[in-house]
Amino acid sequence: STIIPWNMWLAYGDAKILEDQYASMKAWVGFMQSHSKDYLWNTGFHFGDWLFYRPADDNDGRSAVTDKYFIAQCFFAHSTQLLLNAAKILNKPGDAELYADLLKHLKEAFLKEYVTSSGRLISGTQTAYVLALQFDMLPENLRAQAAQRLVSNIQDYNNHLTTGFLGTPYLCHVLSRFGYDTVAYKLLLQETYPSWLYPVKMGATTIWERWDGEKPDSSFQTPGMNSFNHYAYGAIGDWMYRNITGLDTYEEGAGYKKIRIRPHPGGNLSYAHASLETGYGKLDVLWKIADGKFIMDVEIPANTTAGIYIPAATTENITENGKPLRDLKEISVARKEGDYILLQVGSGVYHFSADSMK
């Protein structure tokens, strides 16, 4: 009721989507609120992090199970945040104030109930840390150490994930957000169970419902719930688009009116390519690393603008179609951000080259 309308608005930039769904968005947040006490949604049935990884030596899954009410509280806050965002976009200041106050109380209740005095989560699983970080449930001063604890957990599992349907879509996004691209790539390219490539090594050509629909010994899970065409874990594709190729939209220019391209080369990849048919036309990004150069070809559709991040030490290392940036009035250098130079461009086709930093 909240996540799908918000994602559709990001993809198409049409406020009518939020207008049409606003009542149901409010109803869903109202439902959660009516089933909560002291701003905690800790009642009723919840599936939890469905089909998370259970170690073979831990039959009840306690080393990887995430408290179901912890998860519920995170999504309660997330839905409230999305409803707050919609209220602002639709110019409903009264609702915006109401839901901002609710969100504040939900996060305060979360901290009191689920975070220790030392900043640890009472559920120390990958999914717990992923959701707490993805939905900004933790104050700024606790986020870096929470991200480090997530990484430590992944390393404890020898660079394997343990997340289920609810944690997996956000896992690599959180790792990249907090500077752990290397870990995200290790998960993406892991070939042993549980991983995305384990089914591929077992001959899969579709996304499975379970991490081990076919077990390492070639036996199968119970046929009553063992789909071999089940998209949930395919959510990694979103991270591949937004982080490997860097193709994304700014919220303030939703629908790809204002485009953001910030590639994250890594994982020993030397090439990546993605394209998208937006409401304005084709958006295309291709990058490759060759002969010590980072080369990126970009097609920006008509009537849009783009912020393009080039991994380079200085502007002097960057050319477009063989020409230095200083000679190109149609490209403006915004600023340096970490290991990137941010460029602002309009619609058109661009061929960038820079000395590779990898």
Domain spans in the chain, listed from the N-terminal domain onward: 3-238, 248-355
Could you tell me if 28 and 79 are in contact, meaning their C-beta atoms sit under 8 angstroms apart? Answer: yes
Is the pLDDT at 62 greater than 60, yes or no? Answer: no
pLDDT at 295: 98
- Confidence grade of residue 279 (pLDDT, cut at 50, 70, 90): very high
Q: Where is 128: in which H helix or E strand?
A: helix 126-134
Find where tokens 């998370």 sit. 52
Backbone φ, ψ for residue 311 (5° rounding): -70, 100
Q: Determine the average pLDDT of the residues in 345-352.
A: 98
pLDDT at 224: 87
pLDDT at 357: 73
Q: Using DSSP bridges, classify how beta strands 258-261 and 293-311 pair: parallel, antiparallel or unpaired.
A: parallel
DSSP reduced 3-state for 222? coil
Q: Determine the average pLDDT of the residues in 244-266.
A: 97
Q: From CA 230, how far away is CA 227, in angstroms rounded?
A: 6
Please name which of 95, 40, 108, 97 lies closest in space to residue 69, comparing C-alpha atoms.
Answer: 40
> What is the architecture, at CATH level 2, of domain 3-238?
Alpha/alpha barrel (1.50)
Could you tell me if 248 and 262 are in contact, meaning their C-beta atoms sit under 8 angstroms apart? Answer: yes
Axis-axis angle for helices 15-34, 93-114 (nearest 10) = 50
Kindly report the number of other CB atoms within 10 A of residue 139's CB atom.
11
> What is the architecture, at CATH level 2, of domain 248-355?
Sandwich (2.60)
Is the pLDDT at 147 greater than 60, yes or no? Answer: yes
Q: Indicate the range of 18-32, 60-74, 144-158 predicted with least confidence.
A: 60-74
Is the pLDDT at 61 greater than 50, yes or no? Answer: no
pLDDT at 163: 96
Mean pLDDT, all residues of the chain: 95
* pTM, entire model: 0.95
pLDDT at 358: 58
Could you tell me if 188 and 234 are in contact, meaning their C-beta atoms sit under 8 angstroms apart? Answer: no
pLDDT at 54: 79
Kindly report the number of other CB atoms within 10 A of residue 271's CB atom.
11
Is the pLDDT at 59 greater than 90, yes or no? Answer: no
Please name which of 80, 90, 88, 174 lies closest in space to residue 133, comparing C-alpha atoms.
Answer: 174
Please name which of 149, 90, 148, 87 lies closest in space to residue 123, comparing C-alpha atoms.
Answer: 149
Is the pLDDT at 28 greater than 70, yes or no? Answer: yes
pLDDT at 356: 80
Amino acid type, 75 = F
Tens of pLDDT, residue by residue over 298-315, are 999 999 999 999 999 999
